[in-house]
Structure 1
Amino acid sequence: MHFASDNSGPAHPKVMEALIAANEGYAMPYGAESAMEGVRERLRDMFGAPDAAVYLVATGTATNSLLLAAMSRPWQAIYCSEVAHIEEDECGAPEFFTDGAKLALIDAPDALMSPDALRARIEATDQGVVHGVQRGPVSITTVTERGTVYSLDHLHALVGVAGDFGLPVQLDGARFGNAVAALDCAPRDLTQGITALSFGGTKNGLLGVEAAVIFDPELAWEFELRRKRAGHLFSKHRFLSAQMAAYLQDDLWLDMAGQANAAARRLVAGINRIPEAKLAHPADANIVFATFPRAAHRRLREAGAQFYSDGSMEGPEDALLRARLVCDWSATEADTDRFLDILAG
């Protein structure tokens, strides 16, 4: 019953097999291996972007931060949700890699920024005044940190607002596959008007690799320089491209995301049948936030369930605590049902 994080799940066997195969013989380093060209062309085709630059990085923190650094200047603001991953979980990495660009936080119910709120925040940024930061890129996360997913219309509206001010847009797609599976759309539907995408893999069955897909080729060289300067250009790069190639083969990435989403839907259906439990946010993909009594939290933990609780296990038994449950591709129906049985008491 492992629902703490999709980072805690195993890598897919096909990915491990690809790594073993990549270990045979010799290959050129630093992304010059032949497999990387196949990865690049597959992603370009998938997004309908023949001129896109594609680079591989081992962590989502580095991918997001290096993309934003290439898209901004130190005196600019980066507009994002108040609960964006780059705000809550990156230990200031975006500010570090951008040499000081400021995150401009936007109120976002259920972690979804509204076009009106984004427009108001951009308009409130003074231009041409030396005492304040200047307008910079917009960063959008889907799946959000609260488990919600922007609809295509909503996402395109945000991109449209950024376009009205001539601002680039970065899409944090650490769970991009889960968003595509939830929306049942083509990948390119999510990237219309996007300047650069973090195409996630680590949370979705890879050992550790993300793709930086840059739709504006003019940013490519700066990204390359920043990646190298930051120590994120792997010499034995073939082990990154092998993972990504297996991920893209026969849409394995989308299959795994669909499995994780299906496990979350099963959790949601069970939670909705339990009177003492209630969803805290819409569960659109593979992340579920729910509240239920402290006694149930304790019961689940004693049975070995792994998940995050907001609050101490000490206190009134009937007090409601929020839980964060994240499903990965390997979640089983048996574990999900056992979790629900214990939750129901």
Structure 2
Amino acid sequence: MTSQAQFLSDNAASVHPAIWDALRAADASDAPYDGDAHSASLDEKFSALFGRDCEVLWVATGTAANCLALATMVQPHGGVVCHEEAHIEMDEGGAPGFYLHGAKLLLGEGDGAKLSPDSIRAVIDPIRDDVHQVQPHAISITQASEYGRVYRPEELAAISALAKDRGLWLHMDGARFANAVAFLDVSAAEAAGDVDALSFGFVKNGGMTAEAIVFFDRGLADVARYRRKRAGHLQSKGRYLAAQLHAMLDGDVWLHNARSANAAAQEIAGACSERLMHAVEANEVFVRCSAAEREALRSRGFGFYDWGDDAARFVTAWNTREEDAQALASAISGL
């Protein structure tokens, strides 16, 4: 095994060489904050990727990307409809409440940690239209979901139609957006659908310290610039973050990396048979196995996280070696 952490998380993976090259190239005097040439050209580059005008702000973390985007959409007295297993609910340490100044997360259900129009209606329809109850202001979906499941374009279209009908903003948490695009084998635009803002993840996919908030509504971007500064995320040498985003988009490094990670996950999934808890559509593999079986895998050098009392989560990354994925697949099939 290359490392005890090789299947713990894609956050544990190394930084792609293109990022180091871009950082060195950006290591020259330029305007501070987001006034540099790298930051100024992000809008054009992402607009070309999505085939429609957008404005892009860099931030250092996915939590900041999600929460700053939602803070432009939701008033403190409002709410965000999200899945009960969504990252903003389960794994962001109360950051949505902090950034949104107390706005509430309204939790819905759905197989594979995915929302549907019906599950969204189940949350918002019972809410009375009066000041005594929190009113929904936005919907947040995750592409790919917390269980590695991917929304198809037709699913996105149905949720978008509902959002527009109800006058709600639509946000997408795209921490693993690249993996969803790679799985669907469609354009970035089709994998995003008609969202108002996308938190486009790069750190899990070979980046270092840069994520992108892609706004398809200019008014939201204008508000987010002030909120980013207020939140302490307007870095003084922003060119180093912008350079990372450029490096990932140039030559489709982001997509190549995601395809590599997805392929490794499929290698492992092929050995799991009935042990699989969820269809593998990105780079996460959830496997039923006992405590003794998990200990047996760890004794052979495999690193991963327990998922409850009777399962494990294995996450592949852009640099997961084929021989390591094959070794894990063989070990699981031999349990």
**TM-score, normalized by length of structure 2?**
0.96
Q: Which residue of 2 aligns with 1:26?
A: 29
Q: Distance in 2 between matches of 1:172 and 1:217?
A: 19
Shift of 1:342: 2.6
Q: What are the residue-to-residue correspondences of 1:37-76 with 2, within 5 Å?
A: 37-50=40-53, 52-76=54-78
1:131 maps to a residue whose letter is: H
Q: Which residue of 1 aligns with 2:10?
A: 6
Of residues 163-172 and 187-196 in structure 1, the stretch that sits farther from structure 2 once superposed is 187-196
Q: Which residue of 1 aligns with 2:321?
A: 332
Shift of 1:97: 0.4
- 2:320 is paired with a residue of what secondary structure? coil
Q: What are the residue-to-residue correspondences of 1:104-183 with 2, within 5 Å?
A: 104-127=106-129, 129-183=130-184
Tell whether the 8 Å contact from 1:63 to 1:211 is kept in structure 2 after alignment.
yes
Q: Which residue of 1 aligns with 2:93?
A: 91
Q: Which residue of 2 aligns with 1:315?
A: none
Q: Distance in 2 between matches of 1:304 and 1:252?
A: 30
Tell whether the 8 Å contact from 1:18 to 1:246 is kept in structure 2 after alignment.
yes
Q: Which residue of 2 aligns with 1:266?
A: 267
Aligned length: 330
Q: Distance in 1 between matches of 2:41 and 2:128?
A: 45
Q: Which residue of 2 aligns with 1:246?
A: 247
- 1:136 is paired with a residue of what secondary structure? strand
Shift of 1:292: 2.2
Of residues 187-196 and 162-171 in structure 1, the stretch that sits farther from structure 2 once superposed is 187-196
**TM-score, normalized by length of structure 1?**
0.93
Q: Distance in 1 between matches of 2:233 and 2:100?
A: 15
The verdict on how the C-alpha distance between 1:100 and 1:246 changes in structure 2, with shifts beyond 3 A counting, is same
Shift of 1:218: 1.1
Shift of 1:311: 5.0
Shift of 1:302: 1.3
The yes-or-no answer on 1:305 pairing with 2:302 is: yes
Percent identity at matched positions? 42
The verdict on how the C-alpha distance between 1:300 and 1:233 changes in structure 2, with shifts beyond 3 A counting, is same
1:279 maps to a residue whose letter is: L
Any unmatched runs of 5+ in structure 2?
none
Q: Distance in 2 between matches of 1:310 and 1:165?
A: 36
Any unmatched runs of 5+ in structure 1?
313-320
Deviations 1:129-161 (A, max 9, x none): 121111210000011111111111112111111
Shift of 1:310: 3.2
